[in-house]
């Protein structure tokens, strides 16, 4: 895909995450929902962050912009936004970053929207908090933002309350708010999971267009591989708090190197002919309180051996990185066919 999106400093990543580790002190001991996570994102790029529930993908997102509440805290690593370090930054700095240079869209738009305030009040507040300007001018920006995400009769809709919108429309409003201050990065945490497939398709269509237009980088967190397949340039697979595989979307989907990625892809029903036995991953994802030593996937892995009791490091492979002692061979193709009809 041609990426000629405008970006102020091409080459340097918008977001550079290294060794990010978050811990939660709990009665069961110290849990590590984010463990040594690292990736980078360039302007106009879409990155999919994929994993099953409890794998730490949302905690990663919260850690990026310091949205952690005690007892959760970042214990190591760095998050650089256009070179500026965010780990350890004071609350005032983070306030200036959130909603301004980094915006976040949640699964449930009601988490973003205040139910007792009109849309215009909320949108104008989001602008004025970061950029002083006349009220009327801010209102015009809000109307344009609503129009950009495909909301008809924007002027009238500005005066509505959140409950007067349908689920899909509410998510559009949340996206419009995220776009208001032309952020460098938008973090989307399962933004279409609660939506119907036709509405999801509309939202994906809007997001794709908007990011290409504005050069905003997008971190798209989802458990749904098929959404990432059509949307993301690169993807990052997480398991039990760790990045297990990273690479271009086309490479990861057609030639997964980590056994977990391969098993995950193979268990998607879309890859199977009707009635064909679904391949499944035996067992349960491990509890963070009782992680096996070494590779967390080893107890469920068919390729596991004695060496898997040592934690593997991320190592370079073609078009990406993989954290595995015994990666799947380069030429192995996912069962069920890489292309589905």
Peptide bond into 71 cis (omega under 30): yes
CB of 19 to another protein, least distance (A): 27
Position 224 contacts another protein (CB under 8 A):
yes
Position 110 contacts another protein (CB under 8 A):
no
Pick the binder of another protein from 6, 8, 88, 230 (CB under 8 A). 230
Nearer to another protein, 167 or 294 (CB): 167
Position 274 contacts another protein (CB under 8 A):
yes
Reported residue count of the chain is: 341
Pick the binder of another protein from 32, 258, 271, 323 (CB under 8 A). 271
Pick the binder of another protein from 134, 284, 302, 330 (CB under 8 A). 284
Task: State the virtual CA torsion across 240, 241, 242, 247 in degrees, nearest 10.
Answer: 100
* 167-179 helix and 119-128 helix, angle to the nearest 10 degrees: 20
Pick the binder of another protein from 249, 258, 317, 325 (CB under 8 A). 249
Task: State the virtual CA torsion across 221, 129, 86, 231 in degrees, nearest 10.
Answer: 20
Position 5 contacts another protein (CB under 8 A):
no
Residues contacting another protein: total by CB under 8 A: 53
CB of 125 to another protein, least distance (A): 27
Site residues for another protein, window 48-87 (CB under 8 A)? 52-53
Beta-bridged to residue 80, according to DSSP, are: 16, 85
Position 286 contacts another protein (CB under 8 A):
no
From the number of C-beta atoms within 10 Å of its C-beta (0-12, 13-18, 19+), residue 29 rates as exposed
* 135-148 helix and 119-128 helix, angle to the nearest 10 degrees: 110
Nearer to another protein, 93 or 208 (CB): 208
Joined together, the tokens standing for residue 48 give: 């999919």
Residue with tokens 């998510």: 171
Pick the binder of another protein from 199, 291, 311, 314 (CB under 8 A). 199
Position 233 contacts another protein (CB under 8 A):
yes
Eight-class DSSP state of 323:
E
Eight-class DSSP state of 170:
H
Site residues for another protein, window 312-341 (CB under 8 A)? 338-340
User: Do β-strands 29-41 and 15-26 pair in parallel, antiparallel, or remain unpaired?
Assistant: antiparallel
Eight-class DSSP state of 312:
P
Position 311 contacts another protein (CB under 8 A):
no
Interface residues toward another protein, by CB under 8 A = 1, 52-53, 166, 168-169, 196-202, 204-205, 208, 223-227, 229-233, 249-254, 263-265, 267-272, 274-275, 277-281, 284-285, 338-340
């Amino acid at each position: 895909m041609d990426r000629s999106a405008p970006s102020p400093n091409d080459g340097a990543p918008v977001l550079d995450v290294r060794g990010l580790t978050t811990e939660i002190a709990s009665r069961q001991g110290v849990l590590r929902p984010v463990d040594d996570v690292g990736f980078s994102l360039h302007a106009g790029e879409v990155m999919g962050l994929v994993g099953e529930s409890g794998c730490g993908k949302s905690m990663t997102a919260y850690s990026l912009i310091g949205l952690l509440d005690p007892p959760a805290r970042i214990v190591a690593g760095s998050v650089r936004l256009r070179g500026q370090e965010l780990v350890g930054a004071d609350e005032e700095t983070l306030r200036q970053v959130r909603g301004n240079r980094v915006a976040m869209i949640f699964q449930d738009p009601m988490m973003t929207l205040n139910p007792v305030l009109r849309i215009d009040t909320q949108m104008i507040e989001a602008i004025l908090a970061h950029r002083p300007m006349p009220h009327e001018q801010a209102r015009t920006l809000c109307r344009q933002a609503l129009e950009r995400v495909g909301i008809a009769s924007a002027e009238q809709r500005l005066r509505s309350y959140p409950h007067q919108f349908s689920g899909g429309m509410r998510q559009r409003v949340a996206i419009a708010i995220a776009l208001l201050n032309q952020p460098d990065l938008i973090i989307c945490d399962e933004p279409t999971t609660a939506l119907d497939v036709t509405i999801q398709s509309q939202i994906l269509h809007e997001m794709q267009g908007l990011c290409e237009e504005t050069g905003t980088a997008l971190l798209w967190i989802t458990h749904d591989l098929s959404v990432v397949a059509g949307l993301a340039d690169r993807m990052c697979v997480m398991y039990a708090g760790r990045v297990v595989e990273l690479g271009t979307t086309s490479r990861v989907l057609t030639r997964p190197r980590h056994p977990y990625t391969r098993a995950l892809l193979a268990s998607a029903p879309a890859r199977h002919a009707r009635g064909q036995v679904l391949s499944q991953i035996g067992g349960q994802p491990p509890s963070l309180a009782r992680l096996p030593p070494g590779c967390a996937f080893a107890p469920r892995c068919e390729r596991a051996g004695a060496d898997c009791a040592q934690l593997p490091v991320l190592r370079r492979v073609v078009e990406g990185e993989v954290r595995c002692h015994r990666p799947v061979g380069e030429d192995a193709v996912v069962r069920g066919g890489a292309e589905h009809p």
